[in-house]
Amino acid sequence: MPHSSPLHHHQSSLEGVIYFSAEPTLGTDQRTNAKRRFYRIVEYFEAASSSRSSGDYSRPRLVHLTYDYTLSEESRDNFLRAFFWAMALSIDGSEEDIDAEDLRSPFFGFADYLLDNFFLPHRLAALRGACLTRDRHRCVISRKFDLEEGEKRMRRDGDSARDDDGDLLLEDANPADFLEVAHILPHSLMKADIGSELNPSKQAALAILNMLDSGVVHLVEGVEIDRPRNAITLTHVLHRLFGDFLLFFEPIPDRQHTYRIRSCSPVALLLRNPAFPITRTLYLTDTWTIDPPSPRLLAIHSAIAHILHLSAAGEYIDKLLLDMDGKDVKSDGSTELGRLVKLRLGGYLDGPSYS
């Protein structure tokens, strides 16, 4: 457990970094009891918050869904430890030690902590990387060829220019487009401050990532964030939807590196080509010299997409970004200035507003 003391019941935010990678797993009875108490608290606030104010997000649903979409038993144990630590409750306590109404402030603070330090930074990431060779200079979803690469080949080979599979580019019925390489988990997550240390906001994001999938942090630590396993090639439009967690990849059982790609946004209906949902097998190099996109990282991305959509946190973030882009400080005080300032100080507003 963290060495810092538990939160006071009326503290509205988490000031420490919750990281539980060294903790042993919970015992069966301990886990069952903790889960029952967790759901009792969450369901109390879900019932009390059945009607959310316009433009806000459901904090109880965000907490509930983050737990439900964790990817392993160990990760769920990490989440339960973090939750009860934030509530200033013993994880081994009884039903009788819970007065849910007394937990309102730390509970809502915990939800805001998840949003501020993990989900929202993901939406504001600036991505870099290069996986065009592995993906054959094509968008992994639309299969459009990279327009920049196509121009180079046309200048060099004229009408005989061919794609990576040896087919003539001029005979490709799918129009070319400018392609971008999108990190599955965004580059800004591991961007260090001066002095090569992560600031507290980014340390917090990694702690929450560990709660979603215990032990996954090593896949994105340091230079690992820029490995090909954490990137896919997309058109600009699909990159934006993917970065906003409006597109996600669901693995098809027994078909390696094959996914059903879905969207939780009506805007996808306007694209038509490709039409969602769509099934794609990701490109691999013949010799596997370049790692394929990690199924584990794509699963985390999918979990985040579901959490944001089902809790309405995605809509809340869009409203927040609209306020930021329009510099629209409302006279009624509804603009979340504190959250915008925190993002700026955390270094999350230095790049494009999609990942």
DSSP secondary structure string, 216-268?
GGGGTSGGGGGSGGGEEEEEHHHHHHHHTTSEEEEEPTTSTTEEEEEESSGGG
DSSP 117: I
319-to-57, 242, 323, 330 alpha-carbon distances in Å = 10, 18, 6, 13
pLDDT at 332: 45
Q: Give the predicted TM-score (pTM) of the model.
A: 0.62
3-state secondary structure of 299: helix
- CB distance 99 to 9 below 8 Å: no
| Sign of the Cα pseudo-torsion (311, 317, 320, 322, in order) | negative
Q: What is the pLDDT along the chain (355 residues), one digit of tens a residue?
A: 333 333 333 333 444 445 545 577 889 999 999 999 999 999 999 888 765 555 567 889 999 999 998 888 888 998 999 999 999 999 988 877 788 889 999 999 898 888 776 665 443 333 333 578 889 999 999 999 999 999 999 999 999 999 999 999 999 999 999 999 888 987 666 554 444 456 666 677 777 777 888 888 888 876 677 788 899 999 999 999 998 888 999 999 999 999 999 998 888 888 888 889 999 999 887 766 778 999 999 998 898 888 877 877 666 666 666 665 555 444 444 445 454 444 444 444 444 444 4
pLDDT at 340: 46
